Structure 1
Amino acid sequence: MKPILEYKDYRLYIQDYYDERKRLGAFSWREFCKSAGFTSPNFLQLVCKGESKLGKPKIEKVANAMGLVGYEKDYFREMVAFGNAKKDSVKKAALLEMQKIALEHKVRVVDGDAFQYYESWKYPVLRELIPMMPGANPRDIADACKEHVSAEDVRDVLDFLVKAGFLKKEGNKAYSQTEQTVIGSKEALPLAIRAMHKEMANMAARAVDRYAPDERHFTGVTLGVNEEAYGRIANELDACCRRVLSIANEYKDQDQVCRVNFQFFPVTDKVKEARHA
């Protein structure tokens, strides 16, 4: 499913959300409506068909049911206003606000042309850190990293980030991000992303002993699933990742770079049949 910022029609967005949930497992319009707090089991289906519309009191309920937070919820709210507006002035105001939100929270998908970005943890971490330290020299930036990196490495990474368009220079030793969020294309970069996952997992393992419990947050659960449950949980983790990014992007005074790992993997073979009486 496309990011919400690529939509202009809220009915199409709701329909695509439903189709994606349906594709990943058992999901119905009745279940969707119930999660949004509606008594009518087909209200949202009628909305998608254009036979009803989403009024202001119901926007928050639907946004919450779809797991939207932060700028995603703001964008959805404006998208509904745009779709429901009768007056051109109202329609224009909503569209301008949508464009503003999209510009502020633009997501860059890294593809094969920027393979190097996923070669090491240094690239994504320094991309986040360098704008927080305007005027800092490479040695200061290197010293702020928990993992070892040299001043020369910082200079090389910075040169790449600027040339590849991940950062732009704002002044003397001051930089800003060209897009607030960067994600990797699973289709274009499978090998590079797998290598990055391994590197970040190793960093997480070291963090268990490196930081006190109040400086890190680790949690996990071991559970039994079937194929349908696996698909639904994987989809929920993807949605959670988007919500985490949305929350982080709400703040403009970041002072530290952190990493969140979502790891969901099998620890046994599939049981073909019961082996006990």
Structure 2
Amino acid sequence: MKDVLEYTNYRQYIADYYAEKKAKSAFTWQVLTRAAGFSSPVYLKYVSEGRFNLSEDAAARVASAMGLENYELDYFCEMVKFDHAKKDEEKKAIFNKMLAIADIHKVRIIEGDSFRYFESWKNPVLRELAPAMPGAKPLALAKACRPEVTAAEVSESLNFLLKSNFLQKDENGNYVQTEKSITTGPMDVTPLAVRGMHRQMGEFALDAIEGVSQDERHFSGLTLGVTRSAYDEIVQEIAAFRKKIIAIATRDDETDEVYRLNVQFFPMTKKSVKKG
């Protein structure tokens, strides 16, 4: 079984713990729930399935019942808080605590790199910009960014990109991409950072309306009345369109400039339109 610090979903950890114990002995949900101080023999089974939640006090008891101590117990309790948090800012703060615990104890959270990558717009921009400016120092890269950032921020981002293998250095010391494109996968945590990225990029798009000449940017939009089936089909078409755009952008090895494409399709009315 994986180290608890490699998990981001406490329900999955409970399920995996039970499965491992069950495979080696006559272990039951009742044994685990009683050890954690619950009267219902299947309470933790329901928790692992998402039917019930754990309180903070119960989280500590469950962690102890599974043999977790010290920083492992703290990490499990933070996972519980993360799962139950409602607001993105609260979730981000809790997940950063989880990352800090894992970093101190030299454990890599697989989703951690992806979360950190999408948490700041500077990472994807510099991943594209640095290879396009061979030999450029952080100050030159900083001045090339829109909006402009500091050389220290560029250095921090580049160090992260190298450490996480989003970029590498070639024999001449120039930055090269390890993959042509990066997209999100079916993870628990990454969408949280991506939502923040969308907010950042949406604000930059507003600034670009006035700050970028019309021959260097393209803005267009549609307002449509759709059914649910039409919505699903349009989303599929958007996904296919994004793949085509990626194919066009990545067929050339050189880059003249780094662009951002926002594809947004969202409701302007409530679902009660028909009832009205």
TM-score, normalised via structure 2 length: 0.58
Q: Deviations over 1:60-83 (max 9, x none)?
A: xxxxxxxxxxxxxxxxxxxxxxxx
CA apart distance, 1:153 = 0.7
Alpha-carbon distance in 2 for matches of 1:228, 1:156: 45
**Residue of structure 1 equivalent to 2:76:** none
Alignment of 1:154-173 (within 5 A): 154-173=154-173
SS at match of 2:269: coil
Residue in structure 1 matched with residue 210 of structure 2 by the alignment? 209
Name which one, 1 or 2, has greater alpha-carbon Rg: 2
Aligned partners of 1:222 and 1:186: how far apart in 2?
A: 30
| Pairing 1:263–2:264 present | yes
What displacement does 1:270 show? 1.6
Please give the alpha-carbon distance, in whole angstroms, between the structure 2 residues aligned to 1:212 and 1:122: 22
CA distance in 1, matches of 2:139, 2:186: 34
Tell me the distance in 2 between the aligned counterparts of 1:180 and 1:138: 22
CA contact (8 A) 1:136 1:173 kept: no
Q: How many residues align?
A: 166
Letter of the 2:161 counterpart: L
TM superposition shift of 1:274: 5.1
Percent sequence identity over aligned pairs = 45
Aligned equivalent of 1:114: 114
Q: Give the drift of 1:264.
A: 0.3
Q: Which residue of 1 aligns with 2:90?
A: none
Which consecutive unaligned segments of at least 5 residues does structure 2 have? Answer: 1-109
2:183 equivalent in structure 1:
183
Matched, 1:193 2:198: no
Contact 1:111–1:185, Cα closer than 8 Å, also in 2: no
Aligned mates of 1:272, 1:207 — CA distance in 2: 34
Equivalent position of 2:242 in the other structure: 241
Report the 3-state secondary structure (helix = DSSP H, G, I; strand = E; otherwise coil) of the residue aligned with 2:194. helix
Query: Cα distance, 1:244 vs. partner?
Result: 0.2
Kindly state the Cα deviation for residue 115 of structure 1 after the two structures are TM-superposed. Answer: 1.4
Letter in 1 for 2:149: V
Cα distance in 2 between the residues matched to 1:263 and 1:201: 10
- Structure 1 residues 159, 274: closer, same or farther in 2, change over 3 A? closer
Q: Report how far residue 231 of structure 1 moved.
A: 0.5
The alpha-carbon deviation at position 111 of structure 1 amounts to 3.9
Q: CA deviation at 1:112?
A: 4.0
| CA distance in 1: counterparts of 2:274 and 2:239, whole angstroms | 31
Is structure 2 residue 219 aligned with structure 1 residue 218? yes
Partner Cα distance (1:213, 1:113) in 2 = 36
CA distance in 1, matches of 2:258, 2:274: 47
How many Å apart are 1:251 and its aligned residue? 1.1
1:225-251 C-alpha deviation (Å, 9 max, x unpaired): 011001010111111011000001111
**Runs of 4+ residues deviating >6 angstroms:** none
CA–CA distance in structure 1, aligned partners of residues 146 and 167 of structure 2: 22
Q: Which residue identity lines up with residue 226 of structure 2 in the other structure? A: V
TM-fit CA distance, 1:173: 4.2
Distance 1:175 1:272 in 2: 52
Aligned-partner Cα distance in 1 for 2:158–2:245: 26
What RMSD in Å do the two structures reach over aligned CA positions?
1.6
**In structure 1, the residue corresponding to 2:183 is in which secondary structure?**
strand
Amino acid at match of 1:143: K
Match of 1:44 in 2: none
Instruction: Say if 1:186 and 1:193, in contact at 8 Å, map to a contact too.
Output: no
Tell me the residue number matched to 1:273: 274
* Larger RCO, structure (CA 8 Å, separation 6 or more): 1
Which residue of the partner structure matches residue 142 of structure 2? 142
d(CA) in 1 for partners of 2:274, 2:262 = 33
**1:122-137 counterparts in 2 under 5 A?**
122-137=122-137
Tell me which residue corresponds to 2:151.
Answer: 151
Aligned to 1:129, the other structure's residue is in SS state helix
Structure 1 unaligned residues grouped into runs of 5+ = 1-109
In the TM superposition, residue 155 of structure 1 has moved relative to its aligned partner by 0.7
> For residue 250 of structure 1, what is the aligned residue in structure 2?
251
1:91 maps to none
Cα distance in 2 between the residues matched to 1:208 and 1:111: 34
Alpha-carbon shift at residue 171 of structure 1 (Å)? 3.7
TM value normalised by structure 1: 0.57
Q: Structure 1 272/192 Cα, relative in aligned 2: closer, same or farther at 3 Å?
A: same
Amino acid at match of 1:133: M
SS across alignment from 1:176: strand
What SS does the aligned partner of 2:170 have?
strand
Please name the residue that 1:26 is paired with.
none
